[in-house]
Every structure is written in C-alpha cells, then in structure tokens.
C-alpha cells in the first residue's frame, strides 16, 4: 500500500527505508508520511485510540475501534503529513469473507448494526438467516464492522477504481 521512499535526512544518515505498516490514518498521504517525525501527537489526539505507531509511522488498528473522521489527527500533527482538506473515507472498503456466520447459516447481523453509514444491508433468503451485502459506494472504510465481527470475517480491500471511458 505504501511506496518505499526515504527522506533526504535518512538518506544522508544511512538509515534504512521506513514504510508504514498497514492502513494509514485518513488524510495521510504517501508523500506526507515521508515527512513524519514519529512524534505520536496524532495517536495521542485520536479520540477513538485507533492510531498506533508502527516503525515510527502512524497506522490505523481497527481492532481497537472505528474511525469517526474527526480530523483530530491531522489537526494535532505539526508536519505536513495530512492533506489540508477533510477526508471522510479511506482508500479501501470492507470485504466480507465466506466464513461470515450468516453465510454459514448462523444468524448474525452485528456488522450491519454497527455500520454508521448503513453500507451493510441484509438480504433475506429462504431457509436460512439473512445474508450481508456490502455497498462499496457507501462504505467509508471506517472499520466499525471489523471490530464487532465475532469471527473476524471482515477485512479490507482496495476501493474499486472507476473505469475510464476512452
């Protein structure tokens, strides 16, 4: 997900390339992460506590909670790591695996109940519990569904790129 670039300072110091591990906070760009000093202010000001430093760079851990897109991480950051405009979605969406309880004939709707934008709806089916359907266009990638899934069947996938008509 991240390109391996090295800052000029690290290049002259002979330090290895740093790369962020996992998902970066909303509004953080690959270019911006190269200016990150690892001060941890973004993590300290995150009201949901989902930002952690991995190898000195901010990363989002959805097992700790969901992102509310409050922008506190960008406001607290003294470096140009975050985009100046507000961001209300991640570059990924949720992905529901076949190990989902509802897909295994066990009634569960915890992901749909936790989704703040109602991107997960449940389709009725004969002879079994309702089956989750995710609307990629609505999903913000906030991670609320990842945290509550009792069997860990929800992950992330890159947002589908729009087709360009020639």
Q: Which fold would CATH assign to domain 92-158?
A: Alpha-Beta Plaits (3.30.70)
Region(s) of the chain under CATH 3.30.70.20: 92-158
CATH of 8-76, one of 3.40.50, 1.20.1050, 3.30.70, 3.30.519: 3.30.70
Contact at 8 Å (CB) between 67 and 60? yes
Please tell me the predicted confidence (pLDDT) of residue 10: 55
Contact at 8 Å (CB) between 71 and 46? no
Q: Which of 72, 78, 43 is nearest to 57 (CA)?
A: 43
pLDDT in tens, the chain (166 residues): 333 455 555 555 554 444 445 799 999 988 889 999 999 999 999 999 999 999 899 999 999 999 999 999 999 999 999 998 989 999 999 999 999 999 999 999 999 999 999 999 999 998 889 999 999 999 999 999 998 999 999 999 998 655 434 4
């Amino acid at each position: 997900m991240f390109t391996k670039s090295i800052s000029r300072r690290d290049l002259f110091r002979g330090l290895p390339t740093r790369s962020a591990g996992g998902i970066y906070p909303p509004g953080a760009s690959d270019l911006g992460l190269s200016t990150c000093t690892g001060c941890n202010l973004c993590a300290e000001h995150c009201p949901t506590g989902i930002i952690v430093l991995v190898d000195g760079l901010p990363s989002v851990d959805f097992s700790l909670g969901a992102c509310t897109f409050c922008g506190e991480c960008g406001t607290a950051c003294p470096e140009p790591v975050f985009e100046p405009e507000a961001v209300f979605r991640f570059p990924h969406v949720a992905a529901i695996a076949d190990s989902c309880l509802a897909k295994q004939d066990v009634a569960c709707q915890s992901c749909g109940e936790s989704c703040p934008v109602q991107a997960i709806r449940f389709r009725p089916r004969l002879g079994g519990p309702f089956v989750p359907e995710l609307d990629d266009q609505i999903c913000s990638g906030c991670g609320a569904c990842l945290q509550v899934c009792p069997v860990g069947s929800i992950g992330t996938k890159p947002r589908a790129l729009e087709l360009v008509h020639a």
